[in-house]
Structure 1
Amino acid sequence: MSRTHHRTVSVDGWEVFYREAGPADAPVIVLLHGYPTSSHMFRHLIPALAGRFRVVAPDHIGFGRSSAPSTEDFSYTFDALAEVTAGFLRTVGITRYTVYVQDYGAPIAWRLALANPSAVEGVITQNGNAYEEGFVPEFWEPIWAYGADPTEQNEQALRPALDRAAVEWQYTHGVPDVSTVAPDAWEHDLALLARPGIDRAQLSLFADYASNRELYPQVHQWLRHSAVPVLAVWGRNDEIFSPAGATAFGRHAPRARIELIDGGHFLLESHLDTVVCLINDWHASSVTGPRRD
């Protein structure tokens, strides 16, 4: 396996930590993580793909080892995270890439694609939503309520999402054999969530999540017009984004390949080898084919 490098660059005055592996002249895959994790979620995927790809995984602002400013110093919105990510890609010299999205990584990637459609050569969405059908109502109701009315009562209803039980649940729900999920995954996330002020940052992103839904019609138009190849590889037991969110990609992405795996939200923790095989096969047969810009 290739050696993974751990680096930091400055983007708009913020430090962005990232992991990188693979040949500099290979096709690029950009890995965008979700909540509550960081590029740490890709620690096994990066070396597994680096034999064929240049693989780059940044930590979003407020996550992992990137800068974690207060909400007074940084606007924690998905627009802002996407702007920093676009600046990061310019800084490290990435102009065309396949994007791998999970959870929060999806709305960040959709903004990047809408701003610069020709840069995105392919989309791998692993439990990264772009459709109303993908939302599991029981999970999302307190988020919608807080975003619509950020009262103290609605905040308190949502705060358990920052706690140990909820973070661990995100890794273990829907996994047939939870012993395949390493506990250090959620312990790593919990340690970073516990930093001063991070709770306010995460609450701001919860409140802003509804803005992502407003983009969905534009994303669907982009998928249809560009014919960008899509691999939707999804933990079918996910109780955050349901498998209906995966199958919905077939409505607008004519070249979509949809794979539902017997796993949960963090599929790489339990089904890494399956995902790697699917990515390699899909990229060889789809991304190298024709598309429209």
Structure 2
Amino acid sequence: MIRLAVFAPIAAVALTVGLAGSAVAQQPAPAVKVAHKTVKIGDLDIFYREAGPKDAPAILLLHGFPTSSQMFRNLLPALGDKYRVIAPDYPGYGHSSMPSRDKFKYTFDNLADVIDQFTEKVELKKFALYVQDYGAPVGYRIAVKHPDRITAIVVQNGNAYEEGLDNEFWKPIKAYWREPTNKDKRNALRDALTYETTKWQYTHGVKNPELVSPDGAAHDQFLLDRKGNDEIQLDLFLSYGSNPPLYPKWQEYFRKHQPPVLIAWGKNDQIFPAAGAEPYKRDLKTLEFHLLDAGHFALETNGSEIAELMRNFLGKHVNKK
């Protein structure tokens, strides 16, 4: 009886601890919080979204057209438990400054320069890149300039090869590149700035459009419709012509530095079709290749899948560095 009297309190404590531990284990992980910040780059206010610990491996998310960092609104919390995830808005996009065209020249060289300065301002010394659409020419310029800073690249419908521009979508844009002073060629591209086209970018090639929230397109169009932004976008359509001549340099970067690359590409995209994804296989040795049943904005329908692919890929190639 004495033994029972002695050990009963110990057993009770052990049971209590065990139940408490079990209860804690079953609780969901705390939600990742996303901060919304602004930094000064020269005279520009550059808005960005950030999640995750400051000392975690970093990922720089670079958006496309006609969107902004809002395209990563769900990816940030999905990765922010293990990574420092940062998504800036370019000048003229999202909540960043939109200086007039006489005060800021809207070219991809200048966008890349601003984002390069941004990475230094927020102390990104080494980071993985996520590039989509316009994010590819911005990100690859930075990668070529600072190859030692890039730990990996995630490519989601971001082009670096001529094969990716050999389709009907690009014909009127290429016509504008050939005659940049032709107002008719410039004006012919204005349909790309309409709400109907923005919605099309979100829903085309999507198996079930009902799963695509209309909020993304509405948010993008609200900012796209700001006075003077149409001319900014037409300037960047023209400047996109500066990218193909740089493709050989970007491909040389791939061959020389061999960054680990994850392709997570919406195969139904008519702007950047899967033909643009295939050539990455020529130049990269550490390549994980996935064609997803998705459209241009694959994160809208396949966000959880892409997040899981990234966690697995970065876990193998970035976390151990």
2:231 corresponds to 1:206: no
* 2:211 match: 180
State the partner residue of 2:90.
60
Report the 3-state secondary structure (helix = DSSP H, G, I; strand = E; otherwise coil) of the residue aligned with 1:247: coil
Any idea what the Cα deviations from partners look like across 1:235-260, whole Å, max 9, x if unmatched? 00010111121121111111111100
Counterpart among 234, 246, 249 of residue 265 in structure 2: 234
Q: d(CA) in 1 for partners of 2:103 and 2:178?
A: 23
Deviation at 1:130, TM superposition (A): 0.6
* Inter-CA distance 289–5: structure 2 relative to 1 (3 Å threshold): closer
Distance in 2, matches of 1:225 and 1:62, equals 34
What secondary structure is seen at the aligned counterpart in 1 of 2:151?
strand
1:98 matches 2:128: yes
1:81 equivalenced with 2:111 (yes/no): yes
Residue 96 of structure 1 aligns with an amino acid whose one-letter code is K
Aligned equivalents of 1:131, 1:226: Cα separation in 2: 18
Aligned-pair distance for 1:41? 0.3
Letter in 1 for 2:70: H
Which structure has the larger Rg? 2
C-alpha separation in 2, matches of 1:159 and 1:146: 12
Q: For residue 154 of structure 2, what is the aligned residue in structure 1?
A: 124
- Map Cα deviations across residues 118-175 of structure 1 (whole Å, 9 max, x no partner): 1111000100111111125211111111122131211221110001111111000000
Per-residue deviation, 1:288: 4.6
Q: Does structure 1 residue 32 correspond to structure 2 residue 62? A: yes
Corresponding letter in the other structure for 1:74: F
Q: Confirm or deny: 8 A CA contact 1:234 1:261 kept in the other structure.
A: yes
Question: What letter corresponds to residue 36 of structure 1 in structure 2?
Answer: P
CA shift, 1:289, in A, is: 6.2
Distance 1:20 1:202 in 2: 26
> Are residue 197 (structure 1) and residue 232 (structure 2) matched?
no
Secondary structure of 2:188 counterpart: helix
Paired with 2:260 and 2:98, the residues of 1 have a C-alpha distance of 34
Q: Distance in 2 between matches of 1:58 and 1:252?
A: 29
Comparing 171-180 with 149-158, which one deviates more in the overlay?
A: 149-158
User: Contact 1:95–1:119 at 8 Å: present in 2 too?
Assistant: yes
In the alignment, which residue of structure 2 is the partner of 1:283? 314
Q: 2:183 aligns with which of 152, 174, 179?
A: 152
User: Quick one: distance in 2 between partners of 1:278 and 1:49?
Assistant: 11
The two structures have a TM-score, normalised by structure 1, of: 0.97
Long gaps (5+) in structure 1: none
Q: Distance in 1 between matches of 2:178 and 2:196?
A: 25
Summarize deviations over 1:195-229 as a string: whole Å, max 9, x none: 01101110000001111111111111111111100
Q: Distance in 2 between matches of 1:135 and 1:160?
A: 19
Over aligned residue pairs, what C-alpha RMSD do you find?
1.0
Structure 1 letter corresponding to 2:227: P
Question: 1:233 is paired with a residue of what secondary structure?
Answer: strand
* Alignment: residue pair count: 290
Q: In the alignment, is the contact (CA less than 8 A) between 2:57 and 2:319 conserved in 1?
A: no
Partner of 1:11: 41
- Indicate if the aligned counterparts of 1:133 and 1:242 stay in contact, CA closer than 8 A: no
Number of the residue aligned with 1:220: 251
Give the aligned partner of residue 72 of structure 2.
Answer: 42
User: TM-score if structure 2 supplies the norm length?
Assistant: 0.89
Taking the aligned partners of 1:44 and 1:189, their CA distance within structure 2 comes to 16
SS at match of 1:234: strand
The letter of the residue matching 2:253 is W
Return closer, same or farther for 1:288/1:254 CA change in 2, 3 Å cut-off. farther
CA positional deviation for 1:93: 0.7
* Residue of structure 1 in register with 2:194 after alignment: 163
Q: Structure 2: which 5+ residue stretches go unaligned?
A: 1-30
